[in-house]
Structure 1
Amino acid sequence: MKAIVITQPGGPGVLQLADRPKPLIAPDEVLIKVMAAGINRPDVFQRKGNYPPPAGASVDIPGLEVAGTIAEVGEAVSRWKIGDKVCALVTGGGYAEYCKAPEGQCLPIPSNLSYPEAASLPETFFTVWSNVFDRAALKHGESLLVHGGSSGIGVTAIQMAKALGSTVYVTASSNDKCSFCEQIGADKAINYKTTDFKEEIKTITNSKGVNVILDMIGGDYLPGNIDSLAVEGRLVMINAMNGREVQLDLGKVMAKRLIITGSMLRSRETAFKATIAQNLEQKIWPLLSSGKIRPIVYKTFDAGDAAEAHKLMESNTHTGKIVLTFVQ
């Protein structure tokens, strides 16, 4: 098969098209003929040599989400058959013509979605569900603040939280991105380049704060996050792009009875991810089928242009997801 491989740690140019053997599947896995693969920030980190894949995952072929048709099924697979259209969350190897996935991490592609749209779903939908709704227990009627509202995670969190009855605030880096976030459902988008998000949240919530914050920035955002949380608020960390080492005012944590948590999804066990998939299929997939939630694909690239796709990802000018497509 053809695959996009990391020839050595470095810039986008280290991504090259190469020949690789098709993956061999375990009894509980399927082999997917990949039509499209989503690009995510961890792919960039892996390309740079800063994100070693978990044991058993592809070392040199990045890619955490794919969409396509099932080409082979393991002997223990009960749900899927050859020819089924699925999207899947994988631990790596997505930038290739074929990719293996555990049976439980596959989801049916809604009939109204294209392969590139379906490929844009798994990584962000699994991440948002696990962190916002499972860990932070966001409830109907509560409020959510998302940093990086125009990112793949951001656009998913906006739509999912709004569809399930929450008020959603986001931060973004430009007025255009803020406008985009509000167009897809955010109640208020804050340009963090020109406005202190902490002060803006204080104003728009009448000093009550928000119930949940989803943060991928870390670093110097922590004090503002703590000040922006309501009593018994929950802060969920899913990345630390501004740094992992921070100073924390424990007095504020105790006074407000706050919960600070975080997670990494890629290394979690298959059964854990399969449970997320079941929740998504039951509670979110009908909203995709009805159009109440929609994938937002900013741009697609032929797989051979993966380096250009990574350049776009690193430019931070996109709104939504970037996807690679494979000509079959």
Structure 2
Amino acid sequence: MLAAHFDQPGGPENLCVKEVAKPLPGEGEILIKVSASALNRADVLQRSGKYPPPKGASDILGLEAAGLVAGFGPGCKGRWKTGDSVMALLSGGGQAEYVAVPEGQLMPIPKDLTFVQAASIPEAWLTAFQLLHFVGKVQSGEKVLIHAGSSGVGIAAIQLTRLAGAIPIVTAGSPEKIQVATNLGAAAGFNYKEEDFSQRALEFTKGVGVDLILDCIGGSYWEKNLNCLCTGGRWIVYGLLGGGEVHGDLLSRLLFKRGSLITSLLRSQKKEYKEQLVKAFTERALPHFSQDRSPHLRPLIDSIYSLHNIGDAHRIMEENKNNGKIIIEICSSDLLSLL
């Protein structure tokens, strides 16, 4: 099969498409013929040599995929049949013609979504759902500050926060990105390049502060995050785009606010945890992707690249030009229907 590949860590120019061995589904695994995958920041970091895959995971890029069930390993429980349209949360391997995935990490594709739209859901939306519910324990009426509000996780978090009855506010780096976020339900948006988001968040909350922060930036935001965190609030760090070093008295300020600092990574979680997450998301959020449900959840696609142009997709993400998900099309839906 064909798959995204790089011989050594480096820039997007190191990426190519290479013929590799087709995976064989193991115990309790299902083989998917991939129609589309999506690009995540973790793929960019892995290509750069900064984020190796977890032990035992495929070293092929791609943390989510959508396509058709194509085969079964021993011990599968019979929930799926050949030809079913599915999307899957992966630890790696999605940017290839086939991927093997544990049965419990598959979800049905809602009837109103294409393969391209479905490919944008598993990693970003499950990450956001996990941060809000499994980690952050979000409650109705709480105010949630979401950094990188027009990213894949940000767009999902805005809508899932609304679904939970809470109030999303976001940061982003341009008026266009702020507009995207507010169009999707953000109650307010702050341009971190032009204003102090912590002061604006305090103004929005009438001086009380936000209850929950979803932070993919890390070190460079620590003071402003603490400044606008309410007493007893929860600050969840799930990425370090702004570095991991903190220079200052973080602990005493966090202690003074009786705040919680929590870290979270989904990719390295155990299979059982991911299956519980997929089950909860499937029951509580997935039905809302249907157009006849209110509130209606919708993925946002920024752009689509073929597997052979994957380097261009990485450049767009590295330059922070995307609003929404960047999709890697592996096999067109028209061709997939003939296989």
Structure 1 length-normalised TM: 0.97
- Cα offset for 1:126? 1.5
| Unpaired segments ≥5 residues, structure 1 | none
Distance of 2:310 and 2:164 partners within structure 1: 35
Could you tell which deviates more after superposition, 131-140 or 30-39?
131-140
- Cα offset for 1:132? 1.7
Distance of 2:280 and 2:58 partners within structure 1: 27
| Unpaired segments ≥5 residues, structure 2 | none
One-letter amino acid of the structure 2 residue matched with residue 50 of structure 1: K
Aligned partners of 2:30 and 2:71 also within 8 Å: yes
Could you tell which deviates more after superposition, 207-216 or 122-131?
122-131
- Cα offset for 1:209? 0.5
Distance of 1:319 and 1:182 partners within structure 2: 12
Aligned partners of 2:34 and 2:99 also within 8 Å: yes
Distance of 1:302 and 1:248 partners within structure 2: 47
One-letter amino acid of the structure 2 residue matched with residue 275 of structure 1: Q
Q: Tell me the equivalent position of 1:120.
A: 120
Q: Tell me the equivalent position of 2:167.
A: 167
Aligned partners of 1:6 and 1:62 also within 8 Å: no
One-letter amino acid of the structure 1 residue matched with residue 70 of structure 2: A
One-letter amino acid of the structure 1 residue matched with residue 48 of structure 2: K
Q: Deviations over 1:182-239 (max 9, x none)?
A: 1111000001111100110111111000110000001120111111111210000001
Distance of 2:160 and 2:125 partners within structure 1: 9
Q: Tell me the equivalent position of 1:57.
A: 57
Percent of residue pairs identical: 39
Distance of 2:324 and 2:148 partners within structure 1: 11
Aligned partners of 1:38 and 1:120 also within 8 Å: yes
Distance of 2:214 and 2:199 partners within structure 1: 18
Q: CA RMSD in A?
A: 1.1
- Cα offset for 1:145? 0.2
Q: Tell me the equivalent position of 1:268.
A: 269
Q: Deviations over 1:84-132 (max 9, x none)?
A: 1110011111110001111111100000000010000011111111112
Q: Tell me the equivalent position of 1:311.
A: 315
1:73 aligns with 2:72: yes
One-letter amino acid of the structure 2 residue matched with residue 299 of structure 1: S
Aligned partners of 1:89 and 1:122 also within 8 Å: yes
Matches within 5 A, 1:282-301: 282-290=283-291, 292-301=296-305
Which of the residues 306, 318, 330 maps onto 1:326? 330
Matches within 5 A, 1:7-156: 7-59=7-59, 61-78=60-77, 79-156=79-156
Could you tell which deviates more after superposition, 212-221 or 238-247?
238-247
What SS does structure 2 have at the residue aligned with 1:58?
coil
Q: Deviations over 1:53-72 (max 9, x none)?
A: 1111122x210000000100
One-letter amino acid of the structure 2 residue matched with residue 159 of structure 1: Q
Distance of 1:29 and 1:36 partners within structure 2: 19
Q: Tell me the equivalent position of 2:215.
A: 215
What SS does structure 2 have at the residue aligned with 1:43?
helix
Distance of 1:48 and 1:251 partners within structure 2: 35
Q: Deviations over 1:283-317 (max 9, x none)?
A: 00011123610011111111111011111111101
Distance of 2:148 and 2:57 partners within structure 1: 28
Distance of 1:190 and 1:226 partners within structure 2: 16
What SS does structure 1 have at the residue aligned with 2:290?
helix
Distance of 1:156 and 1:48 partners within structure 2: 26
Distance of 1:297 and 1:283 partners within structure 2: 23
Structure 2 length-normalised TM: 0.94
What SS does structure 1 have at the residue aligned with 2:34?
strand
Distance of 2:129 and 2:159 partners within structure 1: 12
Aligned partners of 1:222 and 1:248 also within 8 Å: no
What SS does structure 1 have at the residue aligned with 2:110?
coil
Distance of 1:6 and 1:251 partners within structure 2: 44
Point out 4+ residue stretches in structure 1 off by more than 4 angstroms. none
Q: Tell me the equivalent position of 1:277.
A: 278
How many residue pairs are counted as aligned between the two chains?
327
